Amino acid sequence: MDSVSFSDIAIVACGTMSLELSHLKKEGFLDTDHILYTTPGMHDNALKLEEQLDERVKKARESVKKIIVVYGGKFCYINMVDPYRTMKKVIADLGEGVARVNATHCMDMIASEEERERIAQEVAGGEKVWWMTPGWVKFREQVFRGYYKDVGFATENFPKHTGGAIVLDGVGYIDQFMEERPEEFIEYSDWMGIPLQGYNVTLDRFKSLLTEQALKLKEI
């Protein structure tokens, strides 16, 4: 992996990824002093998401000229009013010096599709899996805004994932969560109506995606 400094780069990210980004900052991989977050779970509120991205980018530009947006593509931005407006266009409208990690959603930032298929085969016998990152557990009430604990919503969305729910955990959050608040973990799983478990992974792919965009920005 290329070694690169992020000292002249700001990170603007969905709050759902704050656990991973904080971990990378703590271990020294991210040497930036500028990490700004949008509210977790804004994927279905296109107008509010765009407003927050614009505001965070403008704030970041007060300190640096280069910005990496940590958001996925089609799954992290759903514009029901203008279906032809994509995350790619949103990023382009933010202006020069703004790049986005090359991933479809936060789970894809942590493990590629091929890696997820391997994990599903290993843990769930190849059955369909509902994938999550630790932020989907910590910020569950925001991610499922208005629907968390709604039985009808859960019944409609989760049971078809016969391989259960797997949390791609690169920060050790789930083990600690289960140890400190087992009743909440069980409650979450019961609401979903499927087994919920953590799967320990590295953050190597996430680092690579961030490094890729940092190198591109340094060419500008």
Interval 6-51: pLDDT, tens: 999 999 999 999 999 999 999 999 999 999 999 998 887 889 999 9
CA 150 to chain centre: 23
Sign of the C-alpha dihedral computed for residues 30, 93, 142 and 152 taken in this order:
negative
Is the entire prediction scored with pTM above 0.75?
yes
Which range is most confident: 12-21, 78-87, 140-149?
Answer: 12-21
Which ranges in 67-158 belong to alpha helices (H)? 87-93, 106-110, 113-124, 134-138, 140-143, 151-157
Nearest to 143 by CA among 50, 42, 47: 42
Contact 37, 60 (CB under 8 A): no
Q: Give, to the nearest 10 degrees, the angle between helix 204-217 and helix 18-26.
A: 80
Q: For position 108, what pLDDT does the model report?
A: 97
Average pLDDT over every residue of 112-135: 97
Q: For position 22, what pLDDT does the model report?
A: 98
Q: For position 3, what pLDDT does the model report?
A: 80
Predicted confidence (pLDDT) at residue 1 exceeds the cutoff of 70? no
Integer-rounded Cα radius of gyration of the chain: 18
Nearest to 90 by CA among 55, 54, 115: 54
Q: For position 80, what pLDDT does the model report?
A: 86
Q: For position 105, what pLDDT does the model report?
A: 95
Instruction: Quote the Cα angle for 99-17-39, to 5°.
Output: 90
Q: For position 74, what pLDDT does the model report?
A: 78
pLDDT, mean over the chain = 95
Predicted confidence (pLDDT) at residue 196 exceeds the cutoff of 90? yes
- All structural domains of the chain: 9-106+203-217 (3.40.50), 112-200 (no CATH)
Report how far residue 24's alpha carbon sits from residue 18's, in angstroms, rounded to the nearest whole number.
10
Query: What share of the chain has pLDDT > 70, as a percent?
Result: 99
Contact 5, 31 (CB under 8 A): yes
CA 110 to chain centre: 8
Q: For position 2, what pLDDT does the model report?
A: 54
Q: For position 220, what pLDDT does the model report?
A: 76
pLDDT per residue as tens digits for the range 58-78 = 999 999 999 999 999 878 888
Nearest to 130 by CA among 144, 142, 145: 144
Residue 139 has which token pair?
């910020």
Average pLDDT over every residue of 146-167: 95
